[in-house]
Chain A
């Protein structure tokens, strides 16, 4: 059997549809065994693979506008897999998978130097400052497909890699080597009640993500859809998470332009 073609799994999030409800965050927490602490109000110390940010257009009342921006790991491709975090990890605990385009995180290799956290321009990486502790009985709800991380390691969104493995296993048992679009979907995509998240293979013209963003392979997958954009495009990290909006100010906020004062 021939080796399947390389995939570039990616995501499109429609910011005009996102309601900021947080279902993606909670679905992610349940799927990926995210620990919780008594006080998780300081979001810089709180572990959450998916974080919904609130953007504001900065205009005075009543012209103020807000937008909610869900931020998973951007799974940067960089140039040929040189994503910012992968290039700095001294322990090879994080790697760019050329077959799927997913940036992995191998907890047992990570020794917690946090170099990757400093390198990541999107703050997607979080450090476990504390032992994860589940209140008595609640550990029953842990998902056996995702390992529980311990104090001292960095973690981040994996595009629900365990779901990919499960789907792939099932396909192999059925004698297939290729996954259908709906067979592998992340927990946040599946949960989103507004239908704002679309997930799939950016290389596959039959997949919705490809059809929506129309990635330009000559420019690291830059979107050809004028309503689509990537966070901090000019850094050249070539992320595989795209955002859609009709609002100019949101698009500008996504590139963090320095305003002249």
Chain B
């Protein structure tokens, strides 16, 4: 057959028309889309039986109740427990991403020992044996006080086991990581004589005044605080946020007062001034339940705290200060809170005291809707351990961080002072340092100095489940199981106004060769023998836990938490049985002076203020879901974006998104700019939590850590009180 042009075209066109009329193309597109979705590397999650386990989240000091969804033996989702008094079903983004921590391939899989600068896997037997050997040597040399232990809580059985170990071993150096609770606990002790944590009855307050607290950025227990902040409005209450930048908290508040950073305490004294001057204090409460008001009167009625002076110091208008004081005092149940950002920095003691006085003046102390002293739980009643001569002598030595010394008599723990102590002398005061909570190498200000100080410790042992900055610098890493793989009692929920105990339980079997820190303590004690062995009669932490709770163990295990619903605030325990605005201890405090940001304002024209975000964590590594959810106003590609006011940018000749060099007296960093009207001119806002050197590839090496740029600032009581540092921005 001859193929001419005509028949060729007829064939092609006819074929095309025929194909188009047949179902073939449609079938093919459908099939192609199905075929192209069946790749062996696209995972198909296996089906199985779904079960729910009630447990407690320990990722922050909140202690929310969680409901873990399992499919067979896999954790697929973590939700909030609806019947839990603290979070009532809510969950924060970190808690919701918990399964990613459990299954992270960047977990420490077994005990590690650093040999010639590299980690090699060792057995638990060997690691514990070698560390016990070092501890024995140190004790035989007569210096047991050269051991220190950093933990993120001083409550619960694990912390008690550690403290017991140190006591019987002979070291007073148990150090809790810093937080705003340090200052609050001290303030409660000084004014109310109560050894207690501060709870805030936010759900019942009608006027919430936050002096810099990031109530919606991780302060306290987020789901509880969130719910309470929303409830203030539902009751037609008022919520005022005092903060230099338009944080998420300020954005939500009824009123944002953009104060000059670091002047919050001055404002608190200014409010006290107005209240006292105008006689607005709650007279029945002040008359019947307080004493020493003359002292506060003398202090606060000075000219320095008159509205005009306060306006000058805070950058607010005098009128605003007076109005705020009047409205606060007139509210039915006013409540003032402080502790900057997420409350990870204690802040000055005087600042917290000023806020506490403010609450006492309006009668909001130990009452419904006020600050409530929540007593420390007392369920741990172990027999007093027997101590030998070495231990007794060691326990007499002053603490390495200076807490409780003549210079800092009020502080109980001062981790911020540890780097200085380690840098002193030819040999560092600490020979063996255990870190079972927090991540001091990342979370302490002035990272360079901190790293230098920690590098001097001959034996650094980390208990981290993840490769964090501290673990990376350690000589041994003894990984603990995550909170989804172990038993743990969780006493208290940060900022919650009632005593509550949660129980974390193994939702899945431990995935890796980990060991609970409590078990390591018991094993170390057994290896060391003598009084140490005798002080730890328990086989394991779990046995210890069961025996400690005794009869209440079963109900706790079944219910997952225990709460004292009938709890009523306890009476004041001061000598006068009243709230004391003034007493001998308070008189001994150094006079309040605002702490300036370090650095020469002539050279550094701007001020860097760090801020917290719930999508970034402080000590722990941020899981991938949160990094993904992070705003592009904070992280762009690998660069951190810092907030500045458009006017500040114009003065510097810089535009939105421009690359810049951020220089402070402590260091410099490459940043990108984010221009916003939501920050005071002259300030640089920078998110905490980036610039990680360890952790996974989603997080590590991205952005800059604020702590590399910040300097340590100490208030006269010894607490870390830094709120910023002088800085300048240059075109990159």
Tell me whether A27 and B33 are in contact in the complex, defined as CB-CB below 8 angstroms, given that A19-B226, A135-B696, A193-B223 are known contacts.
no
A140 within 8 A of B: yes
Query: Which chain A residue lies CB-closest to B90?
Result: A193
B599 within 8 A of A: no
B629 contacts A196, C-beta separation under 8 Å: no
Tell me whether A191 and B91 are in contact in the complex, defined as CB-CB below 8 angstroms, given that A36-B628, A91-B30 are known contacts.
yes
Of A20, A33, A136, A143, which is within 8 A of B248 by CB? A20
* Cα-based distance from A114 to B625 in the complex (angstroms): 25
B626 contacts A22, C-beta separation under 8 Å: yes
Tell me whether A134 and B43 are in contact in the complex, defined as CB-CB below 8 angstroms, given that A21-B226, A191-B79 are known contacts.
yes
A148 contacts B42, C-beta separation under 8 Å: yes
* Cα-based distance from A141 to B105 in the complex (angstroms): 12
B636 contacts A41, C-beta separation under 8 Å: yes
B299 within 8 A of A: no
B633 within 8 A of A: yes
B625 contacts A195, C-beta separation under 8 Å: no
Stretch at the interface among B69-77, B138-146, B401-409: B69-77
Interface mask (B31-56 → A, CB under 8 Å = 1, otherwise 0): 01110110101111111100000000
A181 to chain B, nearest CB (A): 14
Of A30, A131, A136, A192, which is within 8 A of B39 by CB? A131
Q: Which of A30, A107, A138, A193 has most B Cβ within 10 Å? A: A193
User: Given the complex, which residues of B lie within 8 Å of A80, measured CB to CB?
Assistant: none
B105 contacts A137, C-beta separation under 8 Å: yes
B398 within 8 A of A: no
Query: Which chain B residue lies CB-closest to A17?
Result: B230
Of A30, A41, A148, which is within 8 A of B632 by CB? A41
A38 within 8 A of B: yes
B103 contacts A140, C-beta separation under 8 Å: yes
In chain A, positions 14-55 with a C-beta closer than 8 Å to chain B are: 16-17, 19-23, 25-27, 29-31, 33, 36-43, 46, 48, 52, 54
B375 within 8 A of A: no
B645 within 8 A of A: yes
User: Given the complex, which residues of B lie within 8 Å of A148, measured CB to CB?
Assistant: 42-45
Tell me whether A142 and B615 are in contact in the complex, defined as CB-CB below 8 angstroms, given that A26-B625, A191-B96 are known contacts.
no
User: Given the complex, which residues of A lie within 8 Å of B79, measured CB to CB?
Assistant: 27, 190-191
* Cα-based distance from A217 to B248 in the complex (angstroms): 36
A94 to chain B, nearest CB (A): 13
B258 contacts A193, C-beta separation under 8 Å: no
Tally of contact residues, B, Cβ under 8 A: 80
In chain B, positions 219-246 with a C-beta closer than 8 Å to chain A are: 222-223, 226-227, 229-230, 233, 246
In chain B, positions 603-627 with a C-beta closer than 8 Å to chain A are: 614-615, 624-627
User: Given the complex, which residues of B lie within 8 Å of A61, measured CB to CB?
Assistant: 258, 645, 677-681
B93 within 8 A of A: yes
Tell me whether A139 and B43 are in contact in the complex, defined as CB-CB below 8 angstroms, given that A21-B222, A91-B30, A191-B90 are known contacts.
yes
* Cα-based distance from A31 to B76 in the complex (angstroms): 8
B545 to chain A, nearest CB (A): 27
User: Given the complex, which residues of B lie within 8 Å of A36, measured CB to CB?
Assistant: 624-625, 627-628, 698
* Cα-based distance from A22 to B635 in the complex (angstroms): 15
Of B91, B102, B635, B679, which is within 8 A of A141 by CB? B102
A111 within 8 A of B: yes
Of B74, B249, B629, B698, which is within 8 A of A25 by CB? B629
Query: Which chain B residue lies CB-closest to A18?
Result: B252
User: Given the complex, which residues of A lie within 8 Å of B677, measured CB to CB?
Assistant: 56, 58-61, 64
User: Given the complex, which residues of B lie within 8 Å of A216, measured CB to CB?
Assistant: none
A254 within 8 A of B: no
B251 within 8 A of A: yes
A110 within 8 A of B: yes
Tell me whether A41 and B629 are in contact in the complex, defined as CB-CB below 8 angstroms, given that A142-B76, A144-B71, A196-B230 are known contacts.
no
* Cα-based distance from A197 to B575 in the complex (angstroms): 50
User: Given the complex, which residues of A lie within 8 Å of B587, measured CB to CB?
Assistant: none
Interface mask (B255-269 → A, CB under 8 Å = 1, otherwise 0): 010100000000000
A209 within 8 A of B: no
B89 within 8 A of A: yes
A193 contacts B227, C-beta separation under 8 Å: yes
B104 to chain A, nearest CB (A): 7
A229 within 8 A of B: no
Stretch at the interface among A4-12, A65-73, A200-208, A231-239: A65-73
B482 to chain A, nearest CB (A): 13
B663 within 8 A of A: no
Tell me whether A21 and B76 are in contact in the complex, defined as CB-CB below 8 angstroms, given that A39-B637, A132-B42 are known contacts.
no
Query: Which chain B residue lies CB-closest to A35?
Result: B628
* Cα-based distance from A91 to B34 in the complex (angstroms): 12
B41 contacts A139, C-beta separation under 8 Å: no
* Cα-based distance from A110 to B32 in the complex (angstroms): 10
User: Given the complex, which residues of B lie within 8 Å of A175, measured CB to CB?
Assistant: none
Query: Which chain A residue lies CB-closest to B41?
Result: A131
Interface mask (B679-719 → A, CB under 8 Å = 1, otherwise 0): 11100000000000000111000000000000000000000
A65 contacts B216, C-beta separation under 8 Å: no
A169 to chain B, nearest CB (A): 12
A259 within 8 A of B: no
User: Given the complex, which residues of B lie within 8 Å of A17, measured CB to CB?
Assistant: 230, 233
A150 within 8 A of B: yes
Tell me whether A29 and B246 are in contact in the complex, defined as CB-CB below 8 angstroms, given that A23-B96, A61-B681, A67-B251 are known contacts.
no
* Cα-based distance from A20 to B634 in the complex (angstroms): 14
A212 to chain B, nearest CB (A): 13
A177 to chain B, nearest CB (A): 23
A191 to chain B, nearest CB (A): 5
Tell me whether A23 and B248 are in contact in the complex, defined as CB-CB below 8 angstroms, given that A64-B676, A142-B76 are known contacts.
no
B89 contacts A190, C-beta separation under 8 Å: yes
User: Given the complex, which residues of B lie within 8 Å of A150, measured CB to CB?
Assistant: 36-37, 39, 42
B37 contacts A107, C-beta separation under 8 Å: yes
A118 within 8 A of B: no
In chain A, positions 127-182 with a C-beta closer than 8 Å to chain B are: 131-144, 147-150, 152-153
Of A131, A136, A149, A192, which is within 8 A of B105 by CB? A136
* Cα-based distance from A186 to B251 in the complex (angstroms): 26
User: Given the complex, which residues of A lie within 8 Å of B75, measured CB to CB?
Assistant: 140-141
User: Given the complex, which residues of A lie within 8 Å of B29, measured CB to CB?
Assistant: 91, 111
B80 within 8 A of A: yes
Query: Which chain A residue lies CB-closest to B681?
Result: A61
User: Given the complex, which residues of A lie within 8 Å of B100, measured CB to CB?
Assistant: 138, 141
B91 contacts A144, C-beta separation under 8 Å: no
* Cα-based distance from A212 to B635 in the complex (angstroms): 37
Q: A111-B32, A141-B100, A191-B91 are in contact. List 12 more A-B contacts (CB 8 A).
A: A30-B96, A31-B77, A66-B678, A110-B33, A139-B45, A142-B76, A148-B42, A149-B37, A152-B33, A191-B96, A193-B226, A195-B226
The 8 closest A-B pairs by CB, nearest first: A193-B90, A193-B223, A142-B45, A64-B677, A66-B251, A19-B216, A111-B33, A141-B99
What are 22 A-B contacts with C-beta separation under 8 Å?
A21-B92, A21-B222, A26-B96, A27-B93, A36-B698, A37-B628, A42-B632, A56-B676, A62-B680, A66-B246, A66-B678, A111-B33, A137-B104, A141-B99, A150-B36, A153-B37, A191-B79, A191-B80, A193-B80, A193-B222, A193-B226, A195-B230
